[in-house]
Amino acid sequence: MTQNRNILRPLTKPARAWRLGVAVGLGLCTLVAAFLGYALILDRTAPQVVIRADLTEAGDNAPVSFSTSESRDNPGILSFHWDFGDGASATGADATHAYSVAGRYVVTVTVRDLEGNEGTASRVVLVRQYWADDFWRSSAPEEQGMDRAPLESMMEAIERGQHAIHSVTVIRNGHIVWEEYLRGWRPHRLHEIQSCTKSVTSVLIGIAMYRGLIQSVEQRMVEFFPDHTIAHLDERKERITLKHLLTMSVGMDWHELDYPYDDPRNTLGQMWVSDDAVQYCLDRPMVNEPGKSWAYNSCTSIILGGIIEQVSGQSVHAWAREVLFDPIGIGDVSWALVAGGHYHTDGGLFMRPRDMARLGYLMLMDGAWDGWPIVSPEWVEASTRAHYRTPWGDGYGYQWWTLPRTDVFMATGHYDQRIYVSPEHNLVTVFTAHIEDQDPHPTETWMRQYVLAACVR
């Protein structure tokens, strides 16, 4: 009988093994193709990540636990790298770290996805911080990681140069480490802070926005004054925003620094003798497109004060006492008035140096005081970075200045009133003085040469 070669026979072991290998190979190819296909459709933008922490204030050697959100559920995240801000690091979606030295630390996590894109997030942790209630605590400079020798050298420079400095206050890690009063000044005396007042006014605007009384820095100036008739209201003036006021980029005709203050052509002097300071400033004609350039202009601060009145329904002083001064422990102040009964929001505030330091410390702590938010961290960040470069080389933010080639931001006032803040060094430094315009103005140099140099750890 002829054998039928088409009849199926059981596979031999080698044949079964070969076919099984082919099947497994095809399956693996399918999985690889699916994986590659998934990788190819991943978003090529940086992955988003948020840090969660169980504490934002830690005691001595207390462990702080960190985790990430909006990333653990994302299968595209491959790696996590933590930098705790004190030289230590870790990996993984969760991390725990104990700090041994008091200070302000910025914790950063970097994540990487399948495409190699990186995303980062940061969070501030305060270690062994306290919050000044009625009084600041004092400490030796060495206890807060500072060398006293540069600070002593600064005082020698003040004496040697016969500079008209009235006070020097240095605060590190929330402690007064250096405080000197000269030329008859004492801690309890109120000092005119001049244009540092502008920085206070900026914080008050930020608080109004945080509380929902202002929608955005892109709101137009004219929207805040519906009951005012504004002169020279052309298309350019219609485009002035709150941000233009905050950054002194309004484009208005203004001659504050072009003539002596007693010269009748000085527009600041004209404002002082007008019937209403806010109205005078609103009425100024335009010379440039808003946002085109920076020019020092105190009328922007006066208009900001008018906006505070409009949105709060209170005087600027009453609003400041309610939402800023009382919450952060600022004591008695004096605040001058300008024409029309408005508060002098560009330079008329008097306060004690230690209370000036409270304002700087609020900004150092990203707008929070004793765990309570006063103004948003976003407002602090936007206020204290340079939006424009000034003719003197400093940067200008939202009525705050920045010191070039450092992390320092500052409130500045005529005759060398200064509030310097260094987040990197957890440092606030206050100077009050009466240094005439024609004399050298050394506090920025002292800040670099002595105060920052004293921070040895």
Per residue in 193-215, pLDDT tens? 999 999 999 999 999 999 999 99
- Residue 433 near residue 417 (C-beta atoms within 8 A): yes
Confidence of residue 25 (pLDDT cuts 50, 70, 90): low
Confidence of residue 218 (pLDDT cuts 50, 70, 90): very high
Q: Does residue 99 or residue 230 have the better pLDDT?
A: 230
Q: What is the pTM of this model?
A: 0.79
Got the DSSP string for 266-327? -HHHHHHTSS-HHHHHHTPPB-S-TTS-----THHHHHHHHHHHHHHSS-HHHHHIIIIIHH
Indicate the domain borders of the chain: 50-127, 148-454
Q: Pick 148-454's CATH classification: 3.40.47.10, 3.40.50.2000, 3.40.710.10, 3.40.50.300.
A: 3.40.710.10
Q: Do domains 50-127 and 148-454 have the same CATH topology?
A: no
Given a cut of 90, whether residue 7 has pLDDT beyond it is no
Confidence of residue 239 (pLDDT cuts 50, 70, 90): very high
For residue 94, what are the β-bridge partners? 67
- The average pLDDT across 166-181 equals 96
- Average pLDDT for the chain: 87
Residue 127 is inside which H or E element, if any?
A: strand 118-127
Confidence of residue 60 (pLDDT cuts 50, 70, 90): low
Given a cut of 50, whether residue 37 has pLDDT beyond it is no
Confidence of residue 114 (pLDDT cuts 50, 70, 90): confident
- The average pLDDT across 107-134 equals 80
Given a cut of 50, whether residue 151 has pLDDT beyond it is yes
Q: What is the CATH topology of the domain spanning 50-127?
A: Immunoglobulin-like (2.60.40)
- Residue 230 near residue 283 (C-beta atoms within 8 A): yes
Confidence of residue 50 (pLDDT cuts 50, 70, 90): low
| Percentage of the chain modeled with pLDDT above 70 | 84
Confidence of residue 384 (pLDDT cuts 50, 70, 90): very high
For residue 420, what are the β-bridge partners? 410, 429
pLDDT for 66? 81
pLDDT for 26? 56
Given a cut of 50, whether residue 9 has pLDDT beyond it is no
Lowest-pLDDT range of 11-25, 285-299, 408-422: 11-25
- Cα–Cα dist 304/296, whole Å: 15
pLDDT for 257? 94
- Cα–Cα dist 177/146, whole Å: 8
Lowest-pLDDT range of 28-37, 181-190, 313-322, 349-358: 28-37
| Percentage of the chain modeled with pLDDT above 90 | 70
- The average pLDDT across 25-39 equals 49
- The average pLDDT across 7-23 equals 49
Confidence of residue 6 (pLDDT cuts 50, 70, 90): very low
- Cα–Cα dist 10/44, whole Å: 52
